Structure formats: C-alpha cells, structure tokens
Chains A and B, each alone.
Chain A
Amino acid sequence: KNQVEQSPQSLIILEGKNCTLQCNYTVSPFSNLRWYKQDTGRGPVSLTIMTFSENTKSNGRYTATLDADTKQSSLHITASQLSDSASYICVVSAGLADDYKLSFGAGTTVTVRA
C-alpha cells in the first residue's frame, strides 16, 4: 500500500527562525513528489513539484529536497514569517503517465509566533 508519513505532526517556531519538515514515503512506481501549503479554511496550494531526477527545488523561502534512493524528502523554511503558519502537506504521485494517483501525507502544522 502506498504510504506517505510526515514528521513532526506539529511544531512551533519563532518568527525569523528556520525549520525543516520531513516526509518519508513508500510509493511505487514513483512519478513525482509535491509539497503543498494549506492555510486554515482554505484549499492546498502547490509549493514545489520534483521528479525522480531532481534533488532540490526552491520557491522563495521554501526549499524542498528529494532523496529518491532513501525515499525521503524535506521542506526547509528559511527566515519564517507569521504568514508561514499553515499545514504543509507532502504528496507523492505514483503510477504511469495516464493513470496516476496521489498519496497525501497527513500534514505538519507549523505555527510561527512573534
């Protein structure tokens, strides 16, 4: 069964500090890995998408890494801002080009405090 595990479940950081979120997956055949940000009461918004051949991708202060050998990914938030308070969801796409499915992690809730 395809699974995506995220850690920690939640964390609290001070404004301006950095943090790293983890994602481990058992998904086959692997197609790509995505990180989404979900604000309270809103739908998820895409931050990054990485294919098998990519091991890092940035979007502003967000940097995602992918180690396809160990099936691990991380999302690093640099110089956190209050607006970074949200749930961050790791999503892995499995399957063939015309018939693929997304497996969602349960998310890491990040709270940034002033």
Chain B
Amino acid sequence: DAEITQSPRHKITETGRQVTLACHQTWNHNNMFWYRQDLGHGLRLIHYSYGVHDTNKGEVSDGYSVSRSNTEDLPLTLESAASSQTSVYFCASSEGTSNYGYTFGSGTRLTVV
C-alpha cells in the first residue's frame, strides 16, 4: 500500500545545530508540503513543492529550507536550530491542487534545547 513516512518520530537537538527531517511518499504525488503544529495554533505552512526541483516558501519559512531531487522525498532542513522551532512537524502530499485531498505523515516531534 502507498504511504507517507516521516523520520525520525522524535528528535532532541541543541540550539545552533543543523537538523534534517525526512519525508518519503510512495503515492507518486507531485505536491508535497511541510507544516508545523504548535499548541493553540492551526497547522502553518513552512515550504511546499509542486514537483521535482520546484520549491516554494510558505508563511513561516524563515530558518528552514527544502530541496526536491526526486518525486518521493522532500527533506526539511533547519539550518541553525532555535528554541522557537520546537514543534511537531508534519509532511503531506497530494495528487493535485484545489479539490484534492492531502495525505499526512505521522509527524516528527522536534525539541530544541
């Protein structure tokens, strides 16, 4: 069965370190997204991609970067981790735009100490 997987599930890192969160989907979806979820807030878009070599900034992109070298993967990199980036991160994919549903991964809980 097709799936979308995130790794690691939990990560603790120190302030200033570079961290990469992995997202891998086998749906063959062109569109992939990274969100962060914080208590009391809705999911907020960090970066997204509509295909290989395409990347776009979302509403909270500062301090994050992504690259899309193939259809299956969209890794999220925190260049220099800050305590404000402690959050739960969700990756999602969709077949198309507008009325297509999103499939979410199970999330990565990142703690920056």
In Å, the complex CA distance between A35 and B44 comes to 16
In Å, the complex CA distance between A4 and B104 comes to 20
Interface of B is mostly: loop
Number of A positions contacting B (CB below 8 A): 26
Does B43 sit within 8 A of A, measured CB to CB? yes
Cross-chain contact A106 with B40 (CB below 8 angstroms): yes
Cross-chain contact A31 with B99 (CB below 8 angstroms): yes
A95 contact set on B, CB distance < 8 A: 98
Q: Which of B45, B98, B106 contacts A41 (CB 8 A)?
A: B106
B41 contact set on A, CB distance < 8 A: 106
Type the 1/0 row for B86-113, where 1 means its CB is closer than 8 Å to any CB of A: 0000101000011101101111000000
Contacts A41-B106, A44-B90, A44-B104 given; 5 further ones with Cβ under 8 A?
A41-B107, A42-B106, A43-B106, A49-B101, A107-B42
